[in-house]
Amino acid sequence: MTVTADSVWRECLSFIKDNIKPQAYKTWFEPIKAVKLSGEVLTIQVPSKFFYEWLEEHYIKLLRVALVRQLGNEAKLIYDVKMENNYSSTRPQIVKFPSSNRDPLKPQKVAVSMESDKRELRNPFIIPGLQKVKIESQLNPNYNFVNFVEGDSNRLARSAGMAVAKKPGGTSFNPLLIYGGVGLGKTHLAHAIGVDIKDKYPDKTVLYISSEKFTQQFIDSVKSNTRNDFIHFYQMIDVLIIDDVQFFSGKKGTQDVFFHIFNHLHQNGKQVILTSDKAPVDMQEIEQRLLSRFKWGLSAELQSPDYETRISILENKLFRDGVEMPSEIIEYIAKNIKTNVRELEGVIISMIAQASFNRKEFSIELARQIVDKFVKNTKKEVSIDYIQKEVSKYFDMDVATLQSKTRKRHIVQARQLAMYFAKRLTKTSLASIGNQIGQRDHATVLHACKTVDNLTETDKQFRKYVEDLTKKLTF
C-alpha cells in the first residue's frame, strides 16, 4: 500500500479522535487538510494563524505522539497556514519532533521553528495572551431568575430561558431570540440565562455583549487587519449573548461576519441568545440568510405586564430593598404605570429617595406626584412612518411626494426634516432611515441632518419649521 499524506494523516486522526472529546476533535482537527508528504515531513493546511497557535498551545503533545507513531522519531510537521485572503502562506510554520530513545508516548519538549513573525490572537476585549487568560462574561449577577418576576406577559420567554440555562446548546431553542418593547426585561432575562449557565457549568465560556460593541470591535479588527482573530475569538465562545441585535440593521459587514460566527457556533452545539425590540419578521435591513437563522430556534415575546404581574414586580422590588409600603400605594402605582418594568421600578426608587432625603412618609399624594412626573416625561414611541405622515401633513403634501426623487426646494427640505427627526427620535440606523424615506443611502441622511442643523441656526423660517414639528412629534 502506497503511503500518502492523506493516509498518514488519516491514521493520525484516528489516534487523535480516540484521545480527545468529540467536540474538540470536530472543531480543531476536522478542518485540517493533509497537503504533502516528503519522507518524514508531513505538511498540513490549517485555516488561520490563530488555528496554528491554538494547536501549538493545546494539542502539540498529542500531535507529536500521533505523528511519531506513523513516521518515526525524526518526524517533522509543517503547518501551511491559509491566510485571510484565501491564499496559502508561503512561509510555513515548521514543527520538528526530535529523535529520542525514550518512549514516544511519554511527553517530550518540542522544538518549534517559526519562519514568519509569530503574533498573539487579538482579543477584542483587550485581554493579552488570550489562551492564558479567562474571558470575562460581562454578566451582571444582579440580573437573575430570582429577580425576574414571572407573569402571563413573559412566561414563555422565562420558561424557554430556564430550559436553555439547564441545557445550553442542547434544546431546540437555539438560537433563543427574546423580543419586546423598551423596559420589559429583555436584557435582564438574557443576563439571567447567562448567570444561571455560569453557576451550573463553571467551565463554559459565556459572553454577553451589546450589538453596538460587537460592531465596533469588528470595525476595529478590520482597521488593524485582525478580522480572522476577531472571528476565531467569537467562535470559541460556548454561550454567546448579543443584546439589541436589531442594531445590525444596514450594517452589511457586521451581518456577514456574524453570519459566519453564528453558523460555526450553531454547528458545534454552542448556544446563541439574542434580544431585539422587534420580531424577525419586522426587522428591516437585515439579510434574509441571517433572519432565516434567527427563526431556527424560538422567538419569545415579552409583553407589557398585566396588573397582577405589576403588583408582583413592585412587591419583589420592595422586598429586595428591605422596604415596607402600604398596599394601597402599591396598587395605585400598579394601576397608573402600565407601560414597562423599568418605569415601575423607577417610581419605587423615587418614592424611597423622597421619603429618605426629604423625610416624607409614603403616601398616596407622594405617589401621585411621582407617577404624574413619570407619565408626563414618558415620550410616546415615534415611528418613521408617523414622522413622514406628520411632516407631509405640515407641508401640505402626501408621503409619496415627500419620498419622490424631485429636487424642488420645499420638498427636499421636507424630506430632510423627516430624516432629521427620524434620526433624533428613533433608534433606527441611518441606512434604514434612508431606505424607508425614499430609498436613499446613509450618506444622504447624514447630509440631511447636517443641513437641518445649519439652516436652523441661519434661517428664521426654517427654525420655526423645526420648532413646530418638534411640538407635533414629541408632545
Q: Could you say which of 253, 273, 302 is where a domain stops?
A: 302
Q: Rounded to whole angstroms, how far apart are CA atoms 392 and 106?
A: 79
**Are residue 331 and residue 292 in the same domain, yes or no?**
no
Q: Rounded to whole angstroms, how far apart are CA atoms 235 and 210?
A: 17
Is 90 a residue whose pLDDT tops 50?
Answer: no
Instruction: Identify the three-state secondary structure at position 242.
Output: strand
pLDDT tens sequence across 162-178: 999 998 988 888 889 99
Report the amino acid identity of residue 127. Answer: I
pLDDT at 417: 94
Cis peptide leading into residue 128 (ω within 30°): no
- 428 contacts 385 by C-beta, under 8 angstroms: no
Mean pLDDT of 310-338: 81
Q: Rounded to whole angstroms, how far apart are CA atoms 338 and 314?
A: 12
**Are residue 328 and residue 440 in the same domain, yes or no?**
no
pLDDT at 343: 78
pLDDT at 392: 92
Q: Rounded to whole angstroms, how far apart are CA atoms 278 and 418?
A: 22
Q: What band does 129 get if pLDDT is binned at 50, 70 and 90?
A: very low
CATH code at position 399: 1.10.1750.10
Helix ranges, 322-398 (H) = 327-336, 341-357, 364-377, 384-394
**Are residue 270 and residue 370 in the same domain, yes or no?**
no
pLDDT tens sequence across 5-15: 999 999 999 98
Q: How many domains does the chain have?
A: 4
Q: Could you say which of 270, 286, 302 is where a domain stops?
A: 302
Q: Rounded to whole angstroms, how far apart are CA atoms 203 and 447?
A: 49
Which of 142-151, 260-269, 363-372 is most confident?
260-269
CATH code at position 325: 1.10.8.60
**Are residue 235 and residue 179 in the same domain, yes or no?**
yes
Q: Is residue 144 one of the residues assigned to a domain?
A: no
- 435 contacts 446 by C-beta, under 8 angstroms: no
Count CA atoms within 13 Å of residue 35 on its CB side: 17
Least confident of 28-32, 76-80, 91-95, 177-181: 91-95
**Are residue 246 and residue 182 in the same domain, yes or no?**
yes
Q: Is residue 314 one of the residues assigned to a domain?
A: yes
Q: Could you say which of 267, 284, 302 is where a domain stops?
A: 302
Least confident of 135-149, 335-349, 392-406: 335-349
Q: Rounded to whole angstroms, how far apart are CA atoms 183 and 340?
A: 5
Mean pLDDT of 205-223: 88
Q: Is residue 136 one of the residues assigned to a domain?
A: no
**Are residue 345 and residue 388 in the same domain, yes or no?**
no
CATH code at position 21: 3.30.300.180
Instruction: Identify the three-state secondary structure at position 43.
Output: strand
- 196 contacts 232 by C-beta, under 8 angstroms: no
Is 203 a residue whose pLDDT tops 70?
Answer: yes
pLDDT at 212: 87
Range of 419's domain?
384-474
Q: Is residue 137 one of the residues assigned to a domain?
A: no
**Are residue 46 and residue 32 in the same domain, yes or no?**
yes
Least confident of 49-63, 212-226, 363-377, 405-419: 363-377
Instruction: Return left, alpha or beta for 215; rule: phi > 0 is left, psi -120 to 50 is alpha, else beta.
Output: alpha
Q: Is residue 149 one of the residues assigned to a domain?
A: no
User: How many angstroms separate the Cα of 404 from the Cα of each of 156, 184, 397, 415, 430?
Assistant: 44, 38, 11, 9, 18
Q: What share of the chain has pLDDT > 90, as a percent? A: 13
pLDDT tens sequence across 419-439: 999 888 877 778 888 888 988
Q: Is residue 150 one of the residues assigned to a domain?
A: no
Average pLDDT, the chain: 79
**Are residue 405 and residue 336 in the same domain, yes or no?**
no
**Are residue 255 and residue 288 in the same domain, yes or no?**
yes
3-state secondary structure 177-233: EEEECCCCCHHHHHHHHHHHHHHHCCCCCEEEEEHHHHHHHHHHHHHCCCHHHHHHH
**Are residue 168 and residue 279 in the same domain, yes or no?**
yes
Q: What band does 472 get if pLDDT is binned at 50, 70 and 90?
A: confident
**Are residue 287 and residue 395 in the same domain, yes or no?**
no
Q: Is residue 470 one of the residues assigned to a domain?
A: yes
Q: Is residue 148 one of the residues assigned to a domain?
A: no
- 311 contacts 330 by C-beta, under 8 angstroms: yes
Mean pLDDT of 117-122: 43
**Are residue 168 and residue 244 in the same domain, yes or no?**
yes
Q: Rounded to whole angstroms, how far apart are CA atoms 53 and 59?
A: 10
